[in-house]
Amino acid sequence: MPDAVVLRSLTKTFGEKVAVRDLDLVVPEGALYGFIGPNGAGKTTSIRMMLSILYPDSGEVEILGRRSAQEAKDRIGYLPEERGLYRRMKVRELLEYMAALKGCEGAGLRKRVDEWLEQVGLGAAAGKRCEELSKGMQQKVQVLAAMIHQPDLLVLDEPFSGLDPVNQRLLRELVLEQHRRGATVLFSTHAMSHAEQLCDRIVMVHRGEKVLDDTLQGIRTRFDPHSLWFEPRRSEDDPASLSALDWVRAVRRDGSVWEVVPREGVDLSAAFGLLSAAMPPARIELRRPTLEDVFIEIVAGTGADLGEQSQLRATVRDGVGETEAAS
Amino acid sequence: MKKIMLVAVREFMATVSTKAFIFGVLFTPLLLLSLAVLLPRLMDDAPPKVAGEIAVIDPTGLVGGAVASHLAPEALAARREDQRRRIAAAAEQAAPVGKEVARQAAESALGEVPRLRVAVLDPGTDIESAKAPLIAEADAKGDSGRLAVVVIHKDAVQRSDPSTAFGTYDMFVRGKLDDRVEDEIRRGVREAIIEARVERSGLQRAVIEGLTTVRAPDSRTVTKKGESRTNEVANLFVPGGFMMLLLLSVLTGGQYLLMSTIEEKSNRVMEVLVAAVSPFELMTGKILGQMAVGLLVLAIYAVLGISALALFAAFGALDPWLIVFLLVFYLLAYLTIGALMAAIGSAVNDVREAQSLMMPIMLLTMLPWMLWVPILRDPNGALATTLSFIPPVGNFVMLLRLSSTAAPPMWQTLLSIVVSAVGVWAALWFAAKVFRVGILMSGKPPSFATLLRWARMG
């Protein structure tokens, strides 16, 4: 299958600061990619270079089979991180204008604009000026503006930030709809949970360098923590005592739950039985790696200190609460 | 090319459909024009008819009768006709200023002939009791009763000592007496007193008037094209008007371009736009869109100006080539200044930051405005010639010279256009480079040196 996006050793510096270093990336056609990393990791700079808004100091870009996004502009939909609308333009006019700039015109356009506005609950706002809309509504209009011309490649920079849970779900639906239609989707986020829910492949950047590029399944296998979450049924039981068991390597407390790590070679499904026999459980659960864990593990490997780790954890966790409420 | 046109059309529509534009640019001149047309018609409405009595207390016994004959309706009508003729003659003298306008103005300034009765009171009448009827109400038939009391001084006609000045007269008038009627009464009394004085001195009025009158000269301007009546007003204001028109339209388009670029940047629409069109297409579209806005302004004010000239019957004085040159120099001046405005707009974050970068450009465009009079005094002098070859000042100066009485040589006109075209090319090149870098820049406002570095970067 041909590739929608190919980046070869892309590098960009702003003065002293290296924003992106030696970035390689291949996004096959029809894929749904998550581009993740904390604020300032180089996501937006990479995307801008991908779209020929910025030019790399070195490296090559290939978009939809062209040497530059300049030549494929009409087939790309882009939602920048710093979003804006013409404040005085009416919503319908704005969407029609954006579509026309992308070479999309004709009788069907107005109908499609109205249908899409209806779909995201903005049917009544079609004739309003953009400045009359709330921030969330404006953001939905911007998302529609990026998709209205049915692009082959959809690039969304932090699409979920600033949306409430209901609208986050709505946006997820819109993105999946484009994906099903056959569009290649690449979106960046610093909230790992969004990527986990949506993507089939994850690219992680940190300090301008790519630190991970794998399928979600691959990441789970590779970073399997091989441990169980445990919660005792009786309050007088102390799970710390479980560390005395011969098949247990370690027991760690994490809030109200405990993490029980079996020794190498112990089958996890067997561990379920052993654990419930040793102490009556309220809950036993297979612990799966979250992107957050993976990210922290990778960053810890690159030599970040503990302070930096907790700071990273805070930034990548941003927005998790909202999503949980939605799902 | 299609995308450029899309951007241009949006730019134009977004600008001209704002209330600020409609009121500021369209409504104001239309209001002025309609006032210019309507006001004279409104003023044609004659003042209310005046009828009433003028009381004269004349201790000399020489003036009273004359006042009566000078204020008789026939005398007033005759004097008015005379004045009308004199104004018409003056209008003729001032050349192509419309006779009709002057006649209308004269008519409305004079008002309808008042019907005045003159009552010569006994010289011993008490002034206070003579004044009393001035306060009385007008009767139903429109007769106001006593309008004024004129008290002639004893020495108004004859002096006891020739080294002292003649006496004069006192006048008491009713409140709300039309000032034109009051003037009429004064004129009548004055005439009566002068007549009496002249008669007492044994001289003849006609002789004195003949001796003291010198008719206005017939002033003519001599040019290569031949002689024509000197029209100082037109000589100064037609070129000035043309330059104003050019300056106004160029600056309107330029300002709107600056504002809309800054708006797109501060609104963060810019990044969406450059993902859809190239920065060069975006800039070109914006420049073209505002060029159309400037042209619209130019057209509106030009039509207004030509209507004004037509109103004063001076349309014939206009060389149609000037309209062509106006368009050519508009395009050259706008493209130079518009390109620079687009570059500045793309580089700054808000209007405040734009001010410092705008200063040199504003000074450049103000230069011909400040030097308007010296350039016109010597349209082919060193100052005017030098300035003609400095873009974008040259466009304004050249238009000023072309519309003056001493047109510049053809080669200078053509050379100025060529130099300006080179200026346009340089400005567009510079703007394209700066625009590409500037639109996504934020943070510290750049200086001109920074802009030049950006231009060299690309």
Query: Binning pLDDT at 50, 70 and 90, where does residue B377 land?
Result: confident
Can you tell me the mean pLDDT for A211-234? 84
- Residue A101 to residue B6, Cβ atoms within 8 A: yes
CB pairs under 8 A between A and B: 59
The CATH class given to the A225-286 domain equals alpha beta
* Chain B nearest C-alpha distance from A101 (Å): 6
- How high is the pLDDT of residue B444? 76
Which residue did the predictor score with more confidence, B433 or A327?
A: B433
Chain B positions touching A87 (Cβ under 8 A) are 267
Whether the per-residue pLDDT at B187 is higher than 70: the answer is: yes
pLDDT of residue B141: 64
Distance between CA B66 and CA B13 in Å, rounded?
72
- Per-residue pLDDT band at B93 (split at 50, 70, 90): low
Give residues 252 to 311 of B whose Cβ lies within 8 Å of A: 264, 267-278
**What is the average pLDDT score of chain B?**
82
Residue at A196: amino acid letter: E
Query: Which segments of B18-142 are extended strands (E)?
Result: 51-57, 115-121
Does any CB of chain B come closer than 8 Å to the CB of residue A54?
yes
Query: What's the pLDDT score for residue A250?
Result: 84
Nearest CA in chain A to B436: A53
In chain B, pLDDT over 70 holds for what percent of residues?
Answer: 86
Chain A environment of B273 (Cβ under 8 Å): 101
pLDDT in the model for residue B47: 54
* Chain B partners within 8 Å of A88 (Cβ): 14, 18
- Chain B residues with CB under 8 Å of A79 CB are 272
pLDDT tens digits for A301-310? 665 566 666 7
Please state whether the peptide bond connecting residue A232 to the residue before it is cis, i.e. omega within 30 degrees of 0. Answer: no
Considering B28-37, B64-73, B91-100, the range whose residues carry the highest mean pLDDT is B64-73
Predicted pLDDT at B8: 94
Contact A97 B277 (CB under 8 A): no
Q: What is the pLDDT of residue A146?
A: 92
* pLDDT greater at residue B330 or residue B115: B330
Q: What pLDDT score does B305 carry?
A: 78
**Distance from C-alpha of B155 to C-alpha of B168, rounded to nearest angstrom:** 7
Does residue B328 carry a pLDDT above 90? yes
- Window from A295-309, B223-237, B321-335 with minimum mean pLDDT: B223-237
Q: Which of B59-63, B337-341, B347-351 is most confident? A: B337-341
What is the tens place of the pLDDT at every residue in B384-408? 899 999 888 899 999 888 888 778 8
The alpha carbon of residue B357 is apart from the nearest alpha carbon of chain A, in Å, by 24
Encoding tokens for residue B435? 């625009």
List the single residue in B264, B270, B276 with the smallest CB-CB distance to A101.
B276
**What pLDDT score was predicted for residue A190?**
79
pLDDT band at B452 (very low <50, low <70, confident <90, very high): confident
- Kindly list the residues from chain A whose CB atom is less than 8 angstroms away from the CB atom of residue B268: 80, 82-84
pLDDT at A221: 81
* Binary contact (B276, A84; C-beta < 8 A): no
Cα-based distances in Å from A259 to A262, A287, A314, B198, B406 = 10, 8, 21, 130, 98
Ranges A47-61, A283-297, A304-318: which has the least confidence: A304-318
pLDDT on residue B134: 83
The per-residue pLDDT for A320 is 41
Model pLDDT for residues B107-150, shown as the tens digit of each residue: 655 556 778 888 888 888 888 888 888 887 766 666 778 888 99
- Where in chain A are the domains? 3-220, 225-286
* CA A318 to each of CA A35, A161, B32: distance values in angstroms, whole numbers, following the listed order: 15, 9, 61
A-chain residues within 8 Å CB-CB of B440? 48, 53-54
| Cβ–Cβ gap A78/B275 under 8 Å | yes
ipTM higher than threshold 0.95: no
Kindly give, in sequence order, each residue whose CB lies less than 8 Å from that of residue B184, ignoring residues fewer than 6 positions away. Answer: B71, B76, B114, B116
The CA angle A144-A145-A147, to the nearest 5 degrees, is 65
Higher pLDDT, A151 or B322: A151
A129-175 pLDDT, tens digit per residue, is 998 998 888 999 999 999 998 899 999 998 888 888 888 899 999 99
Name the residue with higher pLDDT: A80 or B85: A80
* A53 lies within 8 A of chain B by CB: yes
Q: Which of A82, A142, A144, A155 to mutate to test the interface with B (most CBs of B within 10 A)?
A: A82
The SS3 of residue A50 is: helix
Cα dist from B313 to A28, B95, B96, B322, whole Å: 76, 10, 6, 18
pLDDT of residue B123: 84
Instruction: Specify the pLDDT at position A79.
Output: 92
Say how far apart CA A285 and CA A230 lie, in whole Å.
Answer: 7
CATH number 3.40.50.300 given to A3-220: yes
Please name which of A288, A301, A287 lies closest in space to residue A212, comparing C-alpha atoms.
A301
Q: Is A84 on the interface with B (CB under 8 A)?
A: yes
Name the residue facing A84 among B10, B267, B278 (closest C-beta): B267
pLDDT the model gives residue A308: 66
pLDDT in tens, B256-307: 999 999 999 888 888 889 888 888 999 999 999 999 999 999 998 888 777 7
pLDDT given at position B315: 54
- Flag if A101 and B277 touch (Cβ within 8 Å): yes
Quote the pTM value.
Answer: 0.72
Contacts of A51 in chain B (CB under 8 A): 275
